[in-house]
Amino acid sequence: MIKKFPIIRPNFVLSDAFSLLRKTKSEQIPDALSFTLKKIIPLEYLWLCNSGISAFYLVLEALKRISPREEVIIPAYTAGSLVVAIKKAGLKPVLCDISLLDFNMDEGCLHKVISENTLAVVLVHMFGIPMQGIETLRQKIPPQVFLIEDFCQAFGSRIKDKPLGVFGDVSFSSFNRGKNLCLLSGGVIFSNNLQLAEKLNQLFEQLKFEKSYDIENCLKILLYQTATNPYFYALFCNLMKEFKQTTAPKDFEVARFAQQKMKLAQAVIKRFDALCLERYRIGYFLLKGLSGISGIKLPSISEDYFVVFNRLPTLFEDMDKLRQAKSKLWQVGFETSQMYEYTLDEMFHLNIGQEVLPNAYYLARHLLTLPIYPGLRKKDLEAIIATVKKICCH
């Protein structure tokens, strides 16, 4: 059977699925997730909810209770759900161009779009890569503007010994499918800010718990692991398209993280350090192998960073070669993805234009992301590198 590696694959093992079937009363399950998360991101306050996007929405609702400002700055190329959350909170999205060095928000452009009405800036660490300059950003931005870190794609990445998630006033991440720490779904908020913590506590008191059924989750894990197994993926890839969200949802539910899923979290987080190390190792192997190929641009990554890649972004100068690489890589067994394909300007018809956001438009057109997860062996990575080399050097 021809092996096909999907673009993303959660790292469950069989015992994770069966951990859900252990007969334990939900109130007896220790909150091992919060305990471990606080060790990874050493901040005072933490809240668990049902998704990354509701985490972001709740942060915005809390900020609205502190400041009358209405604008929220986000990078022009990122998950569309951020705009949906900003609008749901009754606030205004403002787009900032990205940098073609690290593919994250461009700090120079950021200073130009901050106004008297800026409530918050969302610093998104795309693909697992830390936003350049984030360590010193707080000192350069007016204190009335809140810095929110979105590390949904970058859980586990660090700058020197500091994990992403500690650089803003508040941060959030996701445990959705395809994320570095996957628990089927879920989100988390971290902060050290007491005023914000009080508002978030009030908001959480009003929230219900998300609906969660152990048997259903157990089956989902089994199905998902089987469908994304490289030996079976060729059979399931069309079905899996339904689960790969590249467009923004219309709306979303906001709830607390289901207590029953703590059993799953307890099982999965034991392997988290090892998973991060594998993603880091695979990412740097691909980066090294692909560097120097003409016509390919790779993110430039500071030596101080420990990047837990969610996937590897590459920019193809020639879009024809991008299409060829996509199709050839699939033929030799590797799924790749162009991710969102559109800027947020296009997705939400904001009419800001390519002249103002040239890099975001370029990225949306020229991006091809490569798979990175444990299970890809050295010879698989070498096959990816050789295929890209052959196409670009032709």
Ligand X SMILES: Cc1ncc(COP(=O)(O)O)c(C=O)c1O
Q: Which is nearer to ligand X, 126 or 296 (CB)?
A: 126
Minimal CA–CA distance to 60: which of 38, 92, 106? 92
Q: How far apart are CA 87 and CA 68, in angstroms?
A: 15
CB atoms within 10 A of CB 320: 9
Work out whether 33 is an interface residue with ligand X (CB under 6 A). no
Residues numbered 134-153 forming contacts with ligand X, rule: CB under 6 A? 150, 152-153
Q: How far apart are CA 70 and CA 89, in angstroms?
A: 10
170-174 and 146-150 as β-strands: parallel, antiparallel, unpaired?
parallel
For 87, 151, 205, 333, 346, the CA distances from 165, given in Å and listed in that order, are 24, 7, 24, 35, 29
Q: Which is nearer to ligand X, 129 or 325 (CB)?
A: 129
Minimal CA–CA distance to 299: which of 127, 114, 119, 59? 127
CB atoms within 10 A of CB 59: 29
- Binding ligand X (rule: CB under 6 A), the pick from 7, 41, 43, 51 is 51
Which window, 75-83, 107-115, 265-273, 353-361, contacts ligand X (CB under 6 A)?
75-83
Angle between helices 262-269 and 32-40 (to 10 degrees): 40
- Contacts of 383 by beta carbon, 8 Å cutoff, 6+ apart: 332, 333, 334
User: In this structure, what are the phi and psi dihedrals at residue 146, rounded to the nearest 5 degrees?
Assistant: -80, 140
Work out whether 156 is an interface residue with ligand X (CB under 6 A). no
Minimal CA–CA distance to 168: which of 204, 131, 200, 198? 131
Instruction: Indicate the burial class of 273 (C-beta count within 10 angstroms; 0-12, 13-18, 19 or more).
Output: exposed
Q: What's the min distance (Å) between Cβ of 147 and ligand X?
A: 15
Specify the DSSP element, H or E, that contains 277. Answer: helix 272-290
Work out whether 99 is an interface residue with ligand X (CB under 6 A). no
Which window, 64-72, 78-86, 112-120, 339-347, contacts ligand X (CB under 6 A)?
78-86
Work out whether 104 is an interface residue with ligand X (CB under 6 A). no
Minimal CA–CA distance to 368: which of 334, 393, 345? 334
Q: Which is nearer to ligand X, 52 or 313 (CB)?
A: 52
Which window, 50-58, 109-117, 297-305, 327-335, contacts ligand X (CB under 6 A)?
50-58
- Binding ligand X (rule: CB under 6 A), the pick from 12, 19, 60, 81 is 81
Number of residues near ligand X (by CB under 6 A): 14
Q: What's the min distance (Å) between Cβ of 51 and ligand X?
A: 4
Residues numbered 330-369 forming contacts with ligand X, rule: CB under 6 A? none
Specify the DSSP element, H or E, that contains 40. Answer: helix 32-40
For 34, 138, 158, 188, the CA distances from 285, given in Å and listed in that order, are 32, 33, 18, 30
**Which residue's C-beta sits nearest to ligand X?**
52
Residues numbered 167-196 forming contacts with ligand X, rule: CB under 6 A? 174, 176, 187
Q: How far apart are CA 114 and CA 94, in angstroms?
A: 9
Q: How far apart are CA 130 and CA 124, in angstroms?
A: 8
Q: What's the min distance (Å) between Cβ of 178 and ligand X?
A: 7
- Per DSSP, what are the bridge partners of residue 334? 5
Q: What's the min distance (Å) between Cβ of 332 and ligand X?
A: 27
Q: Answer whether 309's CB lies under 8 Å from 372's CB.
A: yes
Work out whether 78 is an interface residue with ligand X (CB under 6 A). yes
- Token pair of 390, please? 């052959």
Q: Which is nearer to ligand X, 85 or 282 (CB)?
A: 85
Q: Which is nearer to ligand X, 128 or 133 (CB)?
A: 128
Q: What's the min distance (Å) between Cβ of 56 and ligand X?
A: 6
Q: Which is nearer to ligand X, 36 or 245 (CB)?
A: 245
- Binding ligand X (rule: CB under 6 A), the pick from 79, 95, 96, 129 is 79
Q: Which is nearer to ligand X, 86 or 296 (CB)?
A: 86
- Binding ligand X (rule: CB under 6 A), the pick from 6, 10, 52, 128 is 52
- Binding ligand X (rule: CB under 6 A), the pick from 96, 124, 344, 370 is 124
- Binding ligand X (rule: CB under 6 A), the pick from 7, 53, 296, 301 is 53
Kindly list the residues in this chain that would bind ligand X in the complex (CB under 6 A): 51-53, 78-79, 81-82, 124, 150, 152-153, 174, 176, 187
